[in-house]
Each structure stands twice: as C-alpha cells, then as structure tokens.
A and B are shown apart, each in its own frame.
Chain A
Amino acid sequence: MNAFGWLIFLGSNAFVIGLTAVCFIRVFSSGEHMHAPLDIDTRDMDEPSPDRPDEW
C-alpha cells in the first residue's frame, strides 16, 4: 500500500471510530431522557388541534 493509501485508510478509520466513540460516550454520559439546556415548550406547534375536527 502506498503512502496515500495508508493516509486514507487510517484517516477514514480514525474518523469513523472517533465519531462512533464520541457519540457513545455522550449517550452513556447523558443518561436517559436528558433535556437540552434551554427547552421552552410554547405548545404552539401542537397541531392539529382536536377541537377543530373540521380540519380533517
């Protein structure tokens, strides 16, 4: 394998392994049902409303 081959082989594997590792570390460190720092629910997106069945 030439130098470029090694570079791409190692770079690709490092990128994918790094991404997967970072993702799993964050998943396991955040626990279940973690919220974002700012999570304001204005409920303005909860549509269609059931009291307007004519929308159907």
Chain B
Amino acid sequence: MEIQSIAQSTSRMARPERWATRIGVILAVAGSAVGLGNFLRFPGVVVRNGGGAFMIPYFLAFLFLGIPVCWAEWIMGRRAGRLSGLSSCPGLLGTLTRGGKFRYFGVLGLFIPLVIYMWYVYVESWCLAYTWFTITGQICLGPGGDYTAFFNQFNGESTGPFFSGVTVNYIFFLITFFINFFLIYRGLSRGIEKFCLVAMPLLVIAAILVALRVLTLGTPDPTKPLQNVSEALGYMWNPDWVKLKDPEVWLAACGQIFFSLSVGFGVVLTYASYLTKQDDVVLSGLTASATNEFCEVCLGGLIVVPAAFVFLGIGQMQDVVGASSFTLGFVTMPHVFAQMPAGRLFQALFYFLLFLAGITSSLSMLQPAIAFFEEGFNMNRPISVALLGMLTFLGANAVVLTPGLTVLATMDTCASDLGIPLLALAELFLFIFVLKVPTGIQEGGYGANMKLPFWFGFVITYLSPVFLLAILAGWFVNKLRPLFDASVEWTPMEPLEKYTILVMIAFLFFLRLLVGLAWPNMKRRYLGYAQSSEG
C-alpha cells in the first residue's frame, strides 16, 4: 500500500534536473577541479620536489590514483543517481548500499565542500578585488612597491595608508558571495552548466595569453643575462634525479594529483548523479581530468615560477617557491607584473583567470548541499538556497572578520588534508567491497564512448587504496613527527586554532544529525522514484 501511494506521487518525485549538454558536464567537472592550486601551488611543488624528475611520480600518480578513483566516482554517482533519483552524497552512498547503512559516510561529502567553500569564497573575492585594483591602478605601486603591506592591510591584518579597515575587502566578499548564490539559484543547467561553458574557455584563453607573455619575455634586463626565460624554465624543469629516491617526493606527487583533481570531494558523485544510463562516464571523466592537467601542467607551470625567476632572479626564488600560495599570488606576483612590459594588462588578466578558476570550483561546492536540502527536507530551490546561504555566510564571516589566516588554514586542514582522503577511502571501500569491481566495470560500460582499460580493476583494487593510505599515513607522520624526531619541536596550537577545530567537530555532528533527520524522506523519494522507473 505504502509503495502504491508513493508511486502515485511520482510525478512530484521525478528527477527535476539534468545536464543539458555533454560538454557542459565535462566543463563543470573540469571547472570544479581547476582552481587556484593549479596556478599557484603546482609550480612551487614541482621546484621543491626535484623539478622535472617530479613529473615521473606525478604522471604515475595521475594514471594509477587520479584517473581510476575519478572513474570510480563517476560510475558510483551515475549508478546511485539513476537508481534512486537522489543526488546528495548521503543519499547516493546510502542507496548504493541497499540498507542505507553507509549513508553517514556521506556526511563527509557535505562537510568537505561546505567548509572549503567558507574560506574559498573569501580568497576568490581577493582575486576579484585584485582584478579591480589593477584596472583602477590602485595596486600599481611600481617595482619597489610594498605589496606585503597592501595585502595585509587589505585583508585586515594591519591598517595603514592603503586600507584602514576591512570595508573594501568585505564589499568584494559580498559581491563574490552573491555571484555564487545567484548562479546556484539558477540551477544545474541554467546556472552552473551555462556559466562553466563560458568561464572555462575564457579562463584557458586568459591563461594562454599570460603564459605567452611570460614565454616571450626573453632577457628583460640585459645587465642580468642569466635572468632569461630559458634559465627560468630550467630552474623549474631541470631534473634532480636524486630526489626520486626520497619517498616524500612520491607522496607529494600523489597529494598534488589527488587534491588537484578534486577526487574524494563528493562533488563528482553529485554531478554524475544527474546523468542517465545512456550518458558516457568513462570518456567524460578522462576528458575532465585531462582538462585539469592541461591547465595545471601546460599553463600553471608556465606562469608563476618562470615569471618570478626572470624578474626576481635565482637569489629570491628560494623565498618564492617556499612561500604560501597566498603570498605567491597576492604579494610576489604584483611585484613581478610591475616589472613586466604591459604588466598591468597581464596582471588584470591573471587575477581574472584566477577568479574564474575559483568561481567554477566554488559553485561545485554548493551543489551537493543544495541537493541534500531539496531531497532530504523537500525544500524548493529558493528556500534551500536561502538556508545554505545563511549557513555558509555565517561560516565565511568567521573567516573574513577574524584577523589573520589562522581560521582559514585550520578549516583547510580539517577539510582538505584529513577529510578528502578519508572520503576517498570510504568511496573506494564501497566500490571494491559493496558495489564490487566487476559490477562497477559493467556499470561503467553503459553508454561508454571508450572502454575502461584492462588494468582498471587491478589498479582500483590494489594500487589506489595503497596510494591513498600512504597519503593519509604521510599526513599523520608529519603531524606526529615531534614524537619520534627529536630535531622537530611541537608547535603549540593557538587558541583560535583550537576553537576552530572544536567548531568543525560540532559542525560535523550537526550535519550527521541532519542526515539522520533527512534519511526517511530520502528513502521515500528513492522508493517512489524506483517505482516510477519500474512503471
């Protein structure tokens, strides 16, 4: 009886959203993966880990960790989505396991993107602000300008002649926040997909233009003949083979691929759930990953480090490659562009491309939670967007209004360093032991434009879990190093760091509570959807 009554209301429960075009979903997934890390983090990681030699473990990790786990996510997402009509991570992982007992793994699939969004949208607003400051000339301080003071005063760490408070910073944050929610409000196809269809090509064109400018710099200062493009590329790409014997280099390669492809984020699961059985996932997944690699290796590798080398020289490169991504992007790069011919134009292009890269990523972070509110609590789009807006606005304000970057860094550690590998491990566990690899391979074959390679089953069963466990173990070893390495001292936690961790734990439990409350409704939706599919 219950089933019949549910079946009668299937029109209401029918899946409301689908991707409009195949290239749209590919660019949306690629946009989710392409972010600030491709342009700011990757070049520094290469230089610190053996230059060109690093590319060997990097590409091995791409083939044996990134691509297989990515395919597993696409396959699980489409399968669970088409069988259940659900799209949120708890719903998908729950229905994948029949009894729904693994739905609580999906809590991480809400926690990770939401927490990252809360700080990411803030950094994204810096990119928009720096684009504006470049256009208006506010940041054009010349080669000797104090860009550190500019950045610190802008983000409220100090006050001075550039900014006396965080008002300007906050306005850009509000604009960026509004743009994100406007696009997410428009929905999957009219918002995310349409935006990515325009933003991704624009981003690539902007990056190509900036990279071409860097590659054609020649020797800008004839009195310093060694500061030329060829030497700059050599600084980044000349291999240091000895580094290949260092396990940390291999770990760094796995970590870079893993975080760069946005694997274990929960986003691909949600995006793939909007596909039908006739839609390809194998070629689409590979294309999205390859697009991310193109932005990272071919474009990201040609901009920041070579440009900094040409203008700052080898003497300052140690500081440049050791600096955080934020320092590199918002302190070093304005200094570099100030010395570059037509630097103002290319600086504006550079920050605009970072802004586009940021926004295509942050949009993807909101969709899993929107789907969760809609299917778990029967909310319509305006209410779910408003609720999510309030929730993330509170979290983001904690980041924006707290002086310094401690809150931001702690949130990133909780969500990225710890959360993502854990969720990826959970997904692999489900793929190997619950869905079963042969079933996964069969599912991947539906609608496929290319076959999964013969080694996929072996790699996903044995190699990928080992790679992932190594990343997690490496993280713990680094954190606990003072216990067994006398030369490393404990760094005591700041009070703000402790409070942030406590809030993160509380937030995780809050989401777990929500998943518990939402599950009966998801179950009803699933049964109704399955019944309508049968009919």
Are the CB atoms of B445 and A56 closer together than 8 Å?
no
Which A residues are CB-close (under 8 A) to B277? Answer: 41
Are the CB atoms of B290 and A5 closer together than 8 Å?
no
Are the CB atoms of B449 and A27 closer together than 8 Å?
yes
Are the CB atoms of B290 and A8 closer together than 8 Å?
no
Are the CB atoms of A1 and B230 closer together than 8 Å?
yes
Q: Is the interface of B mostly helix, strand, loop or mixed?
A: helix
Are the CB atoms of B450 and A13 closer together than 8 Å?
no
Which A residues are CB-close (under 8 A) to B278? Answer: 33, 35
Are the CB atoms of A2 and B294 closer together than 8 Å?
no
Q: Mark A12-39, 1 if CB is under 8 A from B, else 0.
A: 1101110110011011101011111001
Which A residues are CB-close (under 8 A) to B451? Answer: 36
Are the CB atoms of B530 and A20 closer together than 8 Å?
no
Which B residues are CB-close (under 8 A) to A41? Answer: 277, 446
The listed residue (A1, A6, A17) touching B298 by CB distance below 8 A is A17
B51 CB within 8 Å of chain A: yes
Are the CB atoms of B527 and A53 closer together than 8 Å?
yes
Q: Mark B8-23, 1 if CB is under 8 A from A, else 0.
A: 0000000000000111
Which A residues are CB-close (under 8 A) to B291? Answer: 20, 23
Q: Mark B258-277, 1 if CB is under 8 A from A, else 0.
A: 00000000000000000011
Query: In whole angstroms, what is the CA distance A56 to B283 when docked?
Result: 34
What size tier do the contact residues of chain B reach? 35 or more
Are the CB atoms of A30 and B283 closer together than 8 Å?
yes
B489 CB within 8 Å of chain A: no
B238 CB within 8 Å of chain A: yes
B482 CB within 8 Å of chain A: no
Which A residues are CB-close (under 8 A) to B52? Answer: 4-5, 7-9, 12
Which B residues are CB-close (under 8 A) to A48? Answer: 95, 98, 530
Query: In whole angstroms, what is the CA distance A19 to B165 when docked?
Result: 48
Interface positions, chain B 20-38, Cβ under 8 Å from A, are 21-23, 26
Query: In whole angstroms, what is the CA distance A23 to B21 when docked?
Result: 16
Which B residues are CB-close (under 8 A) to A15? Answer: 59
Query: In whole angstroms, what is the CA distance A55 to B530 when docked?
Result: 14
Contacts A23-B286, A39-B446, A39-B447; is A12 near B55 (CB within 8 Å)?
yes
Which B residues are CB-close (under 8 A) to A24? Answer: 287
Contacts A5-B52, A39-B447; is A45 near B238 (CB within 8 Å)?
no
Are the CB atoms of B55 and A8 closer together than 8 Å?
yes
Query: In whole angstroms, what is the CA distance A34 to B21 when docked?
Result: 13
Are the CB atoms of B447 and A33 closer together than 8 Å?
yes
Are the CB atoms of A55 and B447 closer together than 8 Å?
no
Are the CB atoms of B22 and A27 closer together than 8 Å?
yes
Which B residues are CB-close (under 8 A) to A9? Answer: 52, 233, 237
Which A residues are CB-close (under 8 A) to B448? Answer: 36
B469 CB within 8 Å of chain A: no
Nearest CB in chain B: distance from A45 CB, A: 6
B494 CB within 8 Å of chain A: no
Contacts A56-B99, A56-B100; is A16 near B290 (CB within 8 Å)?
yes
* B529 closest partner in A (C-beta): A50
Which B residues are CB-close (under 8 A) to A20? Answer: 287, 290-291, 293-294
Are the CB atoms of A50 and B298 closer together than 8 Å?
no
Are the CB atoms of B447 and A35 closer together than 8 Å?
yes
B465 CB within 8 Å of chain A: no
* B288 closest partner in A (C-beta): A23
- Interface hub of B230, B284, B523, B530 (most chain A Cβ within 10 A): B530
Query: In whole angstroms, what is the CA distance A19 to B98 when docked?
Result: 37
Are the CB atoms of A27 and B284 closer together than 8 Å?
yes
B234 CB within 8 Å of chain A: yes
Are the CB atoms of B238 and A2 closer together than 8 Å?
yes
The listed residue (B22, B51, B280, B293) touching A5 by CB distance below 8 A is B51
A-B contact pairs, 30 of them (CB 8 A): A1-B230, A1-B231, A1-B233, A1-B237, A7-B52, A8-B239, A12-B301, A13-B297, A16-B290, A17-B298, A19-B290, A26-B283, A27-B283, A30-B280, A33-B276, A36-B445, A36-B447, A36-B449, A39-B445, A39-B447, A41-B446, A45-B79, A45-B442, A46-B83, A47-B83, A50-B3, A50-B531, A50-B534, A56-B98, A56-B100
Closest 4 CB pairs of A and B: A1-B234, A8-B52, A23-B287, A5-B238
Residues of B in contact with A (beta carbons under 8 Å apart): 2-3, 21-23, 26, 51-53, 55, 59, 79, 83, 95, 98-100, 230-231, 233-234, 237-239, 276-280, 283-284, 286-287, 290-291, 293-294, 297-298, 301, 439, 442-443, 445-451, 523, 527, 530-531, 534
Q: A27-B26, A32-B21 are in contact. List 9 more A-B contacts (CB 8 A).
A: A1-B234, A5-B52, A12-B301, A17-B298, A27-B283, A35-B278, A48-B98, A53-B527, A55-B98
